[in-house]
Amino acid sequence: MAMPHGSNETSYLLPPNSEDWGGHGIPDFVYGQKELVPEGIQWPRSGPSLLERLPLSRFDSALCLAWRQRMELGLFRYCLGELQTQTLPGAVGFVAQLNVERGVQRRSPQNIRSVRQAFDPEQFNFNQIRPGEVLFRLHREPDLPSALQQDDILVVINVSPLEWGHVLLVPEPARGLPQRLLPGALQAGVEAVLLSSHPGFRVGFNSLGGLASVNHLHLHGYYLAHRLPVEGAPSEPLDPGGRLHLLQALPAPGFLFYTSGTGPDLEALISRVCRATDYLTDHEIAHNLFVTRGAPPGKTSSSSALTGVRVILWARKSSFGIKEGEAFNVALCELAGHLPVKTSQDFSSLTEAAALAVIRDCLLPPAQAGEVQAALVALIAKEEQ
């Protein structure tokens, strides 16, 4: 991604001397309604290379400058270079990337046995990270209206990055919240997507059992300069009001929530999504969630214009720990069509059919998937009562 020159966002940079990092304090990134842009951000027609020439938003500038500095300072587990990338031949349009270092050097997952597992302060958590790993604190302007409880969100580097700008959005670490999605955290994630002028900045969430490796509430955010299948995949409505849709297209069927507005429309979507994830968590059903700019529900296509925000939710089989021997692990980005592959051999031999087989193995059996769908439709119907 292109970096701004002469930017005045220097307050997000660490002092040159590492001994001063502890006293540096966490800078605030304060944003208002005008910076949330639901429409008008599109992929360049001439290909991803033109993304380098697009102007960055204030959010992108702050994140990318601070993230790059931390990379130069050696705060990551490995130096992320340009990743070898290919679009797999076939109808889906999987974007596969070779990321050997992440497969080898990422932190081992915690011992998770339940989607509802309590926070354990004795396990690794985000109260233990180094001061330099925090980029800034996301903070909404006090006069930005919201009916949701607002938490300040720390934007923290992921020390084992998937891609450029890979960060974690962590609500008030001292509260010791388990990995269960809350409205304030999701709102911050969706608004981060709206704050970015890059069409490929996405946010996601992995539940416990859905390959979350740390049981401390966090979302992922990262840049990927490629379209993904879920941005424009067609869908069918599941309720008369059009508030819940079903994505039936590959790579995996999922529940689609959509909004092209901010304010009350956005808050209604967030409330709806969190009721759905609460149901899944309470019933011990693992899940993954992906937030991206995308096309409205209905008969769309992969080339449709990005007119709002899509939030896609997948209920899936629980998987505790990392599956060895697979080309990739199935979590939020893989279900969306982005496949970080662990080895050169798998990267060179991976086919669309093989990728779909790995993903299908993680999906709920049809009967259980039908039960979940009926339950979520019933939850949405209660809004009308």
Beta pairing partners, 139: 30
Query: Active site includes 218?
Result: yes
Which of these is catalytic: 166, 216, 218, 220? 218
Per-position pLDDT tens, the chain of length 385: 544 444 455 589 999 888 888 777 899 999 999 999 999 899 988 665 566 777 899 999 999 999 999 999 999 999 999 999 999 999 999 999 999 988 777 667 788 999 999 999 999 999 999 989 999 999 988 766 665 666 789 999 999 999 999 999 999 999 999 999 999 999 999 999 999 999 999 999 999 999 999 999 999 999 999 999 999 999 999 999 899 999 988 899 999 999 999 989 999 999 999 999 999 999 999 999 999 999 999 987 777 789 999 999 999 999 886 666 688 999 999 999 999 999 999 999 999 999 999 999 999 999 999 999 999 999 999 876 5
pLDDT of residue 48: 59
Confidence (pLDDT) at 304: 77
Give the HSE-up count for residue 153: Cα atoms under 13 Å, Cβ half-sphere. 30
> What is the predicted pLDDT for the residue at 170?
98
Domains of the chain: 25-382 (3.30.428.70)
- Is the distance from CB of 197 to CB of 61 less than 8 angstroms? no
Listed residue (310, 309, 311) closest to 38, CA to CA: 309
Nearest to 161 by CA among 232, 102, 243: 102
CA distances from 124 to 116, 217, 307 (A): 17, 12, 39
Tokens of 218: 């966090």
